[in-house]
Structure 1
Amino acid sequence: MTKISLAALVVMVALIGVAAAVPESGDGGRVCPSGCVSWFDGCNNCFCNEDGSLGGCTRKFCPPGTEEPPRCRKWAEPERLCPVGCLQWFDGCNWCQCSEDGTLGACTLRLCPPGTEEPPKCLRWATTTTPGPGPGPPPEEDLE
């Protein structure tokens, strides 16, 4: 067998393996249920795109008879919002930055064991005054 034929055979086998690893669906390509972000196909773990298609999966070898029922391993968390006017939010475990319209920004990612959460609260509210150089009165030379 020539080197070119051998290389073509290897490529075909690799493509067949990739095609076999992606489950078929009768819902226009949707494999993950709506709201699922991490899917277990019975053997491998996958992440889900917003449209329900698979974004990528592990490629663990799964001997026949070892598969488990497929299921969603992680559902999308509901969108968290800050109270309008709150600039820094504490959700009971993590601190988040917020815009004045209540849109949640970046948050810390602390692991919060069950039972350690505190009541959520706003740590810093927006003010209606024009921002100045900082807290406190202006320097004395500006008072003249």
Structure 2
Amino acid sequence: MRTSMSLLCATVLLAAIISTASGRPKKCEPGETHMEDCNICKCNNDGTSFACTRRGCPPKQEGGKNLERHTRATTKQVCVPDSSFLDEQKCNTCKCNKEGTAAACTLKLCL
């Protein structure tokens, strides 16, 4: 009887050690996903935490609805559409977009 009681205590102690040795308690099922605002969160392989994307979500109004974004129609032309040109320092090459509203330039160090 004493041996059985000792064996039972040892088993309970071992089970307690194993459950705490695994670290943090399980919070989710591995691979489980959910949304937080506009970001996707996925449970890690041991089920202890989620990893989430870090997208910049649109601002929300009171009540949780997304605000609508309105853009002003601008027709300000800054360059000739689809053209290439040199920047002001005559060092970097720039390419104008199809609308003529913006340009992308190389970023060479100009002396």
Please state which band the TM-score falls in when normalised by the shorter chain. under 0.3
Higher RCO (Cα < 8 Å, 6 or more apart)? 1
TM-score by length of structure 2 reads: 0.27
TM-score normalised by structure 1 residue count: 0.23
Structure with the bigger percentage of strand: 1
